[in-house]
């Protein structure tokens, strides 16, 4: 079930189902508001997004209330999360899934929001978007790649290729908006060759693991798994065992393919190391795997539909990623 696409003057509601908006600087908020105005959208904010407790979030009740209100408000066309964090899974047993299913809307964010993306898809069939947070648009120096792919995913029904960005960054831009460090992108890593088409599930690997054994975990059968990690724990061994854990799920031997986001610099992951890890996992044998893709905890981000269909193709050691968008 695809939601209606964004159009000029669409109303976007910003909510904080993970960490509170109180941790976001006024500078970042102002830049983000300016970006959405330039894109022709109207922005409003959930009532409780700036509440904050000892864990950096608002109460479970407040977060669920803002989520429900965003889906049920008929003036709202799309929902963006303000930022990720740690504890979206606190909300799952409190969510009215019928309310979401009966009011399908664009829902976008990443990292801890992995929990909500996959739970929404498994419980309602609604396709959501693994892409930038509202705060992501608060960068003073924002790559056009970010906005272009956000609009390709949420404002168009046309299929689109996800191509590598020209440059990427892994700096703490939110601490110093004027001094940025951009790195030339060397392109995709083709870890294993092949061709596959399937629906997308996954997101942040450590967070996706939290859904194992719950009713919110989507099946991996005939799916394209997308995974990425942040700098915690910054350890390829931890990545290897988390990936192995996910791929010990029932039906994982029927997975169609894998997309892996770019690792942060501190992770120390190399293409050779990642290839070695993949070779230890028998359920991935002969599956197309493309890595170093522009999603995760570096900048910029592409936007990928969770539950949507994608084609993976490799040829002459080059990877091609085509989102079908319907």
With a cut of 80, say whether residue 46 has pLDDT above it: yes
Q: Give me the active site residues, please.
A: 111, 228, 297
Residues 168 and 152 in one domain: no
Q: For the ranges 106-110, 216-220, 245-249, which has the lowest average pLDDT?
A: 245-249
Tens of pLDDT, residue by residue over 259-272, are 999 999 988 899 99
Residue 282, pLDDT > 90, answer no
Which pLDDT does position 232 carry in this prediction?
Answer: 81
Same domain, 27 and 91: yes
Q: Are residues 177 and 129 in the same domain?
A: no
Same domain membership, residue 93 and residue 67: yes
Q: Are residues 53 and 175 in the same domain?
A: no
Tell me how many domains the chain contains.
Answer: 2
- pLDDT computed for residue 250 by the predictor: 84
Q: What is the mean pLDDT of residues 299-315?
A: 96
Distance between CA 132 and CA 120 in Å, rounded?
Answer: 18
Q: Are residues 179 and 278 located together in one domain of the fold? A: yes
**The pLDDT value given to residue 269:** 92
pLDDT(233) > 80: no
Residue 249: per-residue pLDDT:
85
- Can you give the pLDDT at residue 231? 84
Angstrom distance (rounded) from CA 131 to CA 288: 22
Do 140 and 247 fall into the same domain? no
Domain that holds residue 317: 161-323
Q: Are residues 149 and 174 in the same domain?
A: no
Model pLDDT, residue 315: 85
Who has greater pLDDT, 66 or 234?
A: 66
CA torsion angle 210 211 214 220 (round to 10): -140
Backbone φ, ψ for residue 241 (5° rounding): -75, -30
Same domain membership, residue 102 and residue 83: yes
Q: Please check the confidence at residue 162 and state whether its pLDDT lies above 90.
A: yes
**Percentage with pLDDT > 90 across the chain:** 91
pLDDT of residue 63: 98
Helices (H) and strands (E) in the chain, counts: 8, 16
Is residue 181 assigned to a domain?
A: yes
């Amino acid at each position: 079930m695809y939601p209606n696409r964004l159009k000029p003057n669409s109303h976007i509601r910003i909510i904080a189902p993970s960490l509170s908006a109180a941790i976001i600087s006024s500078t970042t908020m102002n830049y983000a508001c300016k970006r959405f105005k330039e894109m022709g959208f109207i922005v409003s904010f959930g009532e409780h997004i700036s509440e904050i407790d000892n864990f950096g979030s608002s109460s479970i009740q407040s977060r669920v209330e803002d989520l429900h209100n965003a889906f049920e408000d008929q003036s709202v066309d799309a929902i963006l999360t303000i930022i990720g964090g740690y504890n979206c899974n606190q909300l799952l047993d409190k969510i009215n899934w019928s309310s979401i299913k009966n009011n399908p809307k664009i829902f976008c964010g990443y990292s801890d929001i992995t929990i909500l993306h996959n739970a929404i898809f498994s419980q309602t069939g609604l396709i959501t978007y693994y892409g930038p947070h509202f705060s992501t648009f608060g960068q003073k120096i924002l790559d056009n790649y970010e906005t272009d792919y956000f609009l390709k995913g949420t404002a168009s029904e046309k299929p689109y290729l996800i191509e590598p960005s020209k440059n990427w960054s892994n700096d703490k831009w939110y601490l110093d908006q004027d001094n940025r460090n951009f790195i030339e992108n060397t392109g995709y890593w083709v870890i294993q060759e092949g061709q596959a088409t399937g629906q997308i599930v996954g997101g942040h690997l450590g967070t996706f693991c939290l859904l194992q054994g719950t009713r919110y975990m989507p099946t991996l059968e005939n799916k394209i798994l997308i995974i990425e990690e942040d700098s915690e724990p910054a350890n390829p061994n931890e990545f290897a065992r988390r990936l192995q854990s996910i791929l010990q799920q029932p039906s994982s031997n029927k997975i169609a393919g894998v997309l892996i986001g770019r690792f942060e610099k501190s992770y120390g992951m190399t293409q050779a190391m990642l290839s070695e890890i993949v070779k230890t996992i028998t359920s991935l044998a002969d599956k197309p795997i493309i890595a170093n893709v522009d999603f995760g905890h570096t900048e910029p981000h592409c936007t990928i539909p969770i539950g949507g269909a994608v084609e993976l193709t490799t040829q002459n050691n080059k990877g091609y990623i085509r989102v079908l968008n319907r």
